[in-house]
Amino acid sequence: MGKTKYMIVSGFLGAGKTTGMLAFLRSVNARYGSAAILANDLGADNIVDADFTAESEVTTDCVAGDCICYQHEALVDKLRRLAGRGADVVFSDIPGCGIGALEHVYLQLRENEGDEFELLPFTCVVDPERLKMLMPEPEELNLPSELRFLLDAQMAEADLIVLNKIDTIDAEQREKCLTLIRTLRPDTPLMAMSARTGEGVDAVTDYVMTHTSKAERRDIGYGSEAFIAAESRLSWYNRRVWFEQREDKSLDFNAVLGEVFERVRASLRAVGGNVPHLKIFASGVGRDYFKASLIGVDYPVEYDRRFENEYAALSVVVNARAAASAAQMGAAVDEAVEAAAEKYNLRARTFFLESFGMTDEGRSNGGRASRIS
């Protein structure tokens, strides 16, 4: 039995990692064999990407509670389980603020499980909008300047950089983005695609399936003052809420969830915060589902899919990665949920909630850290 191929997909918040992994999976399944997705998140549970990949009827699993950088045994166990379910190739992501997985995941796998896994190119997906942070004259994106470090470090870590979302820019803008990446990382292979439309996906898949990672240590500033400064500006928010119509009649939940987006946007603007990635997912009957995201308070909501049917009750997952304090992000979602419930005559019950700043004391070890003075 041959080795299971494994590839990490990194990239900044909102770069399109999940959509990209789904596109790679479909390309592999059509032409190479059987692929699976392993979703990863710092949160404990109730992650949009995990629900969405499951809804997409692909072979999937998840590692939650922390980055896979710090869960080697859990990662290996999940990879073995997916291989046991027939996966020849496994794609996994790391959180959108994450760096360091090349050393903490790839090098550990090579050293400890090298006979089981073949390491495909460590791939960084880049979004044209976020790339503006690294332009010679950076555009104002209402994001803390410290976050530029994370995007630059993610590209420095990569064996392959992929400019995604090329369907959202014209030819001149595409060339400007590619030129900047080549200038910043002249020795790193560079490709372009649109995970949403499929343009360029097969070419990227062909490349990663015929190459392997260099799997060599690189100094990307992991753990440095710049890294800590960047992480200190971010917070995580995950929530599952049950909406139920008080009069037991069906209504358009596309409007309800659109209201939540707009309320969060307004609340964060009011306090000078931003949300590099806000995602909402809800599953209806059959293959009817809602998935949408927001990559900043100044951007339009991106709808992957809206409901075709109306519902009387619905379970909704909200994930936010914010350039704001955990308290500000929590208050914004609280207000949005309450306002939407009142406007549409809904009961709103929360079944899961977690909110934390990236550098909050006690956040490590899943918030179970203790101290004796």
pLDDT in tens, 263-313: 999 999 999 999 999 999 999 998 899 999 999 999 999 998 999 999 999
Retrieve residue 22's tokens: 């789904």
> For the residues 53-64, what does the mean pLDDT come to?
76
Alpha helix segments (H runs only) across 232-325 = 253-271
Amino acid identity, residue 192?
A
Average confidence (pLDDT) over 116-133: 96
- Note the pLDDT of residue 270: 95
Reported confidence tier of residue 43, pLDDT bands at 50, 70, 90: low
Q: In the predicted model, is pLDDT for residue 50 greater than 80? A: no
Above 70 in pLDDT, residue 138?
A: no
The pLDDT, as a whole number, for residue 359 is 77
Q: At residue 368, does pLDDT exceed 60? A: no
Tell whether the model's pLDDT for residue 371 goes beyond 70: no
Q: How far apart are CA 294 and CA 277, in angstroms?
A: 6
C-alpha 135/C-alpha 124 separation (Å) is: 18
pLDDT of 336 > 80? The answer is: yes
User: What are residue 233's phi and psi, to 5 degrees?
Assistant: -95, 0
Per-residue pLDDT at 64: 79
Residue 103 has pLDDT above 90, yes or no: yes
CA dist 159 → 122, 202, 217, 250 (Å): 5, 18, 12, 50
- Position 367 scores a pLDDT of 53
pLDDT (tens digit per residue) in 199-256:
999 999 999 999 999 999 999 998 899 999 999 999 999 999 999 999 989 999 999 9
Within the chain, strands assigned E span 4-11, 35-40, 60-63, 89-93, 117-119, 123-126, 160-163, 190-192, 235-245, 274-283, 289-294, 302-305, 313-323, 346-357
> Quick check: 264 and 333 in contact, CB under 8 A?
yes
Assess whether pLDDT exceeds 90 at residue 361: no
Percent share of the chain, pLDDT over 70: 92
| Predicted local confidence at residue 362, as pLDDT | 53
Higher pLDDT, 179 or 358: 179
127 pLDDT more than 90:
yes
- What pLDDT does 317 receive? 93
- Which tops the pLDDT comparison, 354 or 50? 354
Mean pLDDT throughout 338-349? 97
- Whether 2 shows a pLDDT value over 90: the answer reads no
CB contact at 8 A, 304 and 292: yes
Longest CA–CA span in the chain (Å) reads 62
**Predicted pLDDT of residue 325:** 93
Residue 364 has pLDDT above 70, yes or no: no
pLDDT at 48: 61
What local confidence, expressed as pLDDT, does residue 202 receive? Answer: 98
- pTM of the complete model beyond 0.75: yes
Residue type, position 345, single letter: N
Nearest to residue 154, comparing CAs of 58, 56, 290, 11? 11
**What is the rounded average pLDDT for all residues in the chain?**
91
pLDDT beyond 70 at 49: no
Q: What is the pLDDT of residue 62?
A: 86
Distances (CA, A) of 239 to 117, 236, 242, 348: 35, 10, 10, 12
Going by pLDDT thresholds of 50, 70 and 90, the confidence category of residue 66 is: confident
Of 99, 78, 98, the C-alpha closest to 6 is: 78
Q: Give the residue-averaged pLDDT of 150-163.
A: 97
Coil, strand or helix at 118 = strand
As given in the structure block, the two tokens for residue 129 are 């909008």
Asked if 243 contacts 313 with a C-beta cutoff of 8 angstroms, the reply is yes
